[in-house]
Chain A
Amino acid sequence: MRFPVWRIGVFIAAAVWPLFWLYEALMNALGPDPGKVLVDRLGLGTLILLLITLSMTPLQKLTGWAGWIAVRRQLGLWCFAYVVLHLSGYAAFILGFDWSQLGVELSKRPYIIVGALGFLGLLALAVTSNRYSQRRLGVRWKKLHRLVYLILGLGLLHMLWIVRADLKEWAIYAFIGGVLLLLRVPPVMRRIPRLLGRKAPSATKA
């Protein structure tokens, strides 16, 4: 395995946040409505991890360092882990495990529907993230994983419906997401300058 320290570092950096938040919640440091705070933070964490995952390819192109791509799948899976925790928190702290209410929410509330679609998308990508699926799906794998761009759009829409009065924070994430998508437009991608180092031979094959 290449870059073992880097990979483990990324693993720890992603794992530490939910544990820290749980610790805060247990120490009563999250205020009077800790469940809601946890759900909100996990949702935002999912979006941020999605943006970080999507910035690995441009960073690799920019710097030529293969380490970025080496942690891309791991970051994508962390994004999925966060969304699972986000949904578990929603089920436990907001719905109180009232599954009949979940049916009502899923049929009536557009932002819940959009969020659920985003989750299904992430689920599909997480399930097919292993080497076996990559081999089996062949060319179709890449097509399937372009779904991530749609998921980003769903995630941003989901958040837009929740922020009610001030769009500043949302606008920052939407802008970053927009830039990351723009960098993938082929004519733009070809013009990304190489800032550091030379193209690693392994990267040309991928």
Chain B
Amino acid sequence: MLIKIPKSSDCRESDVTPESLYLSRRQVLGATMAGLAVSSLPRWAGAADAARYADVEPGKAPSWFVEKLPSTQWGAVTVKNEPITPFKDATHYNNFYEFGTDKGDPAANAGSLKTEPWSVVVDGEVGKPGRYGLEDFMKPYQLEERIYRLRCVEAWSMVIPWIGFPISALLKQVEPTSKAKYIRFETLQDPKTMPGQRSGFALIDWPYVEGLRLDEAMNPLAILAVGMYGRELPNQNGAPLRLVVPWKYGFKSVKSIVRISLVSEQPKTTWQSIASDEYGFYANVNPTVDHPRWTQAHERRLPSGLFSPNVRDTLMFNGYQDEVASLYAGMDLRKDY
């Protein structure tokens, strides 16, 4: 007769998770997370809570960021009734062609980017030009959390909790002259750490350049971000400093900024230079103006399952019509796409 003596580490039959519960573990987890999020609401005001979002990989935050984070105004702008994209998806599905054209390339390759020390040049039509170390550059600003929709021109979208400050605060600091009509941003150019810039077949004339009209930059929704999901920006998301303009297609929101110039002429932006028929200077999210190669009327909100595609209608100005439509009064948005 076989006598089985169970080891103390063995599982008993009664420990087995019911199959129905196992199969629905994602919903259970999701519900738990939602519950946690709700129960933690009152604490948002004060405590610096590292685990504000689920499954966030901790990074190595620079000291200026660690010092500023506790005074962050959490949830300053939010998106109602639309779940925040999981951290993993927001950090592993990126367009950052400096690190490769595949969506997974930035996460795989951006580790080589050196974000400390980092300096930002402010020049052009400003009263106070100069080159600032990022820690000095950031000193005047109070951080805010802005939860925004992100709509890529490729017809997918996410909801991301950024941490940053309004560009209007920066403009107050650098004092634009009366000749300043546009603001121009430039990404780092460093082929040594950015493999995409080493490709001999790239059509992009590096560095990546983007720009806004000055009144667009002054809009309270337009921010410069230094963090997301309660931590500093991961490299693949444009560390250490990037633009976020939620009512425009994602490519406007230039990453890893090294230079900010106030200029009198409309800057020639990167995608405009490559294909001006497909990518305009304004690039406002607009469901009624198609991209030449696909419709912009719908978007895939990620994560989108294989057999339950999460397709939704794209909103005018990405849902920020009330805040920004007045900027474009009298303009033909079909012509100025």
Contact = CB atoms under 8 A, between A and B. Distances in A.
A74 to B, nearest CB: 28
Interface string A30-64: 11111110100000000000000000000000000
A92 B306 CA distance: 9
A39 to B, nearest CB: 11
Nearest to B86: A32
A32 B101 contact: no
**Chain B interface size range:** 20 to 34
B137 interface: no
Given A33-B93, A33-B156, A167-B201, A109 B306 contact: no
A166 B93 contact: no
Closest 3 CB pairs of A and B: A32-B303, A32-B302, A168-B201
Contact of A31 (B93, B199, B290): B93
A165 B104 contact: no
Given A31-B303, A34-B304, A38-B306, 6 more contacts: A35-B306, A36-B300, A111-B293, A162-B293, A165-B203, A168-B202
Interface of A: 25-26, 30-36, 38, 92-93, 96, 101, 104-105, 108-109, 111-112, 161-168, 171
A101 B295 contact: yes
Contacts of A171: 201
Contacts of B203: 164-167
A109 B199 contact: no
A90 to B, nearest CB: 11
B309 A164 contact: no
Contacts of B18: none
Contacts of A92: 309
Nearest to B292: A109
B89 interface: yes
Interface in B281-316: 290, 292-295, 298, 300, 302-306, 309, 311
Given A165-B204, A166-B101, A166-B202, A32 B93 contact: yes
A35 B293 contact: no
A25 B306 contact: yes
B115 to A, nearest CB: 23
Interface in B227-277: 274-275
A32 B304 contact: yes
B306 A26 contact: yes
Nearest to A170: B201
B92 interface: yes
Contacts of B293: 109, 111-112, 161-162
Given A164-B275, A166-B101, A34 B201 contact: no
A94 B302 CA distance: 13
B274 A166 contact: no
Contacts of A112: 293
A31 B92 contact: yes
Interface of B: 85-86, 89, 92-93, 97, 101, 103-104, 156, 196, 199-204, 274-275, 290, 292-295, 298, 300, 302-306, 309, 311
B275 A104 contact: no
Contacts of B104: 31
Given A31-B93, A32-B303, A33-B303, A93 B201 contact: no
A168 B200 contact: yes
A104 B306 contact: no
Contacts of B204: 165-166
Nearest to A171: B201
A112 B294 CA distance: 9
A32 B202 CA distance: 26
A171 B292 CA distance: 23
A33 B274 contact: no
Most buried by B among A108, A163, A166: A166
B92 A34 contact: no
A164 B274 contact: yes
Nearest to B303: A32
Contacts of B92: 31-32
B199 A166 contact: yes
Nearest to B290: A108
Contacts of A162: 293
B309 A109 contact: no
Nearest to B88: A32
Contacts of B295: 101, 104-105
Nearest to A94: B294
Contacts of B156: 33, 36
B201 A96 contact: no
B302 A34 contact: no
Nearest to A89: B306
Nearest to A161: B293
A166 B201 contact: yes
A168 B103 contact: no
Contacts of A96: 298, 309, 311
A166 B100 CA distance: 9
A111 B201 CA distance: 21
